[in-house]
Structure 1
Amino acid sequence: MELRHLKGFLAVAQEQSFTRAAKKLHMAQPPLSQRIRELEDELGVKLFERCTRRVHLTQAGETFLEGVQSLLLQLEQAVEACRKVERGERGMLRVGYTGRASQQLLPRLVLSFRQRYPDVQLDIQGPHPTGWLRSALQDGRLDVALCFLPLHDAQIETRSFVCSEFVLALPAGHPLAGQAQVPLSALAGERFVGYPSNQGFHLRDCMDDACRAAGFTPHVVHESETSQVLICHIAAGTGVSVIPAELQQLEHLGGVVFKSLGENAPRLEHGMAWLGSNRNPALHNLLGLDLTKNPPTGTQ
């Protein structure tokens, strides 16, 4: 029994005529009649009562029709479902993010993507350090990551959305806090606070690199994954730090002053990263969205 037998049977049952059914299937009548005979022979039952002008389903044929209609409907739904997956309109998109790099981009991505592709499941994982996200992209655990850039991997493609600078953060009572400019080299003997080392935190790597460029390795006395906690420790005099400029918005906590690192200040990029060899159609659709604009509110 083949699909052509079932479609032929359904057409004859609906049209109650071999002639009209053959026309509907864009085929000649004799081959269609042959299909029905083959089907009846295989089933061992008579499906139609044949009259001069019309054909009627037998009781066995009516029972078979119910099953065929349900079967073909399921097949049609399965075909459409797989086509939607191929078009990236169904399936799953695994999105990883690092907290600070994704504060604005993640909500924008989720809203824009769900408005355009509501049947795609978003598996959102995080927050994680940028190093963890890079590894997850490399081994296929993630389709896309919202993180700090660059990732220094030729297989990973990126798109930058926001660029900012690092600044020097000092306790308000620090002897150098009143100076108009404080070169980073002047803090070589100071205690520092920072994000955890050797755990994939891009912000820690940037601070260490900036200090080494200034001629010293920072003496870090306290580590924290949370920016607010670092700001509190700076305010309390635990140490100084090199942090993203946008953290100046947390100055309402008090007790911290920020100094520019000048023209050579390291720059910090926030963006999106994905493995160039990833063939997930949903990822392709995401990359086609304009995430530089805020999507309209409400559903479409």
Structure 2
Amino acid sequence: MDIIWLRDFESLTTHKNFSRAAEERNVSQPAFSRRIRALEDEVGVKLINRQTFPLSLTPAGEVFLSQAKLILRTYSETIERCQTIDAAGENVIRFASSQSLYMTHFRDHIEPLMEAGGLDVDLNSTSWAADQFVSALQQRYCDVILTYWHPAMDFLSPLEVSKCDFLTLSEDQFVPVSKTGPDGAPLFDLRRDTKRQIPLLSYGSASALRSVLDHTLRQQISPPNLLVVNQNALANSVKAMILEGFGLGWLPRKLCEAELAEGRLALAGGDEFVTALSVRLYRETENTKPTLHDFWRKMSASIA
């Protein structure tokens, strides 16, 4: 199956018109139609319902479209990774970091060393799902990952049993916070609102912090009455919604310390709702880049 056929199919489903799709794909309409027919012959079923106006997908076409998009995304990411690895060479250390850690700990601990050269950060990684960091390190797409660590984070388990080293950069806390009202008190408070249902701004399954939140709530003898009103993969997005007053949520304290100091946010629970987080750097021990070895030595010395 030609990858071009998948791009043709995706274009046709967008425009729902053979002429406009052929124009976008920079090919004549007859040639474009032949390629769509060839795709259908390869799959063995009709994907396009040509009897409707505008064109529509058959039930099989709907299923095939979702998989085609996945294939195209995977293909593009693979090409990008290969090109990145080739361009990076032996003298560049590739970092991967979540958005919240990039905005906080990366700039505090890593960025000062970037002036010495040989360091690069993959900003695409700030939107990765949690398990993508592990696979990226294992596949050498990146050389170092910067991540939160807690025993409940099962996605990091492969690194614990493989040939990986880690450094603990710092300690943080996972704390419940809420926007403050005119009186400076939190709008939602786990200590005060024990009977009414409290809106919770939570994390999706792709977030590294979801397992920590679940662990925190499981530790409660009397769990609070929470109603999940939103789930998000990024802590910064959860923070933004908390600041708008949509509910309370848990954040790494480092990420919201400025807002806490300014009084825009307030702690919304006691110590029993606070969970310790570590911030770690991971690398593969078999990665022999000289620059990585030198960086690791300097980082070890700086936190000793």
Inter-partner Cα distance in structure 1 for 2:194 and 2:251: 17
Q: 1:114 to 1:169 in 2, by over 3 A?
A: closer
Deviations 1:201-259 (A, max 9, x none): 22222112211222559542113345454334334442221222221322478654214
Alignment of structure 1 residues 49-60 onto 2, 5 Å: none
Bigger-Rg structure (1/2): 1
Counterpart residue type for residue 242 of structure 2: I
Larger relative helix fraction:
2
Task: Specify every segment of 5 or more residues in structure 2 that has no aligned partner in the other structure, as ranges.
Answer: 1-88, 151-155
Corresponding letter in the other structure for 1:287: W
Going from structure 1 to structure 2, the CA distance change for 1:254 and 1:131 (only over 3 Å counts) comes to farther
> Structure 2 vs 1, CA of residues 288 and 185 (structure 1 numbering), >3 Å: closer, same or farther?
farther
| Paired residue type of 1:124 | D
* Residues 1:191 and 1:262: Cα distance change in structure 2 (over 3 Å): same
**How big is the shift at 1:264?**
6.8
1:198 maps to 2:196? no
Determine helix, strand or coil for the equivalent of 2:298.
coil
1:266 aligns with 2:265: no
Correspondence for 1:231: 239
Q: Deviations over 1:98-152 (max 9, x none)?
A: 122233543443442552xx4x463634324443212211232211111212433
Tell me if 1:101 matches 2:101: yes
| 1:61-109 deviation line (CA, Å, top 9, x unaligned) | xxxxxxxxxxxxxxxxxxxxxxxxxxxx953322111122233543443
1:240 corresponds in structure 2 to 248
- SS of residue matched to 2:299: coil
Q: Distance in 2 between matches of 1:97 and 1:164?
A: 16
TM-score by length of 1: 0.53
Partners of 2:192 and 2:140 lie apart in 1 by 40
CA RMSD of aligned residues (A): 3.7
* Matches of 1:97 and 1:91, distance apart in 2: 20
Which aligned pairs between 1:99-248 and structure 2 lie closer than 5 A?
A: 99-107=99-107, 108-115=109-116, 118=117, 120=118, 122=120, 124-125=122-123, 126-129=125-128, 130-150=130-150, 151-153=156-158, 154=160, 155=162, 156-173=164-181, 182-183=190-191, 186=194, 189-195=197-203, 197-199=204-206, 201-214=207-220, 216=223, 219-246=227-254, 247-248=256-257
Write the mapping of 1:265-284 to structure 2, written as runs, cut at 5 A. Answer: 265-284=274-293
Q: What amino acid does structure 2 have at the position aligned with 1:242? A: W
> For the Cα contact (< 8 Å) 1:166–1:242, is it kept in 2?
yes
Count how many residue pairs are aligned between Structure 1 and Structure 2: 198
Percent identity of equivalent pairs: 16
> How many Å separate the matches in 1 of 2:174 and 2:141?
31
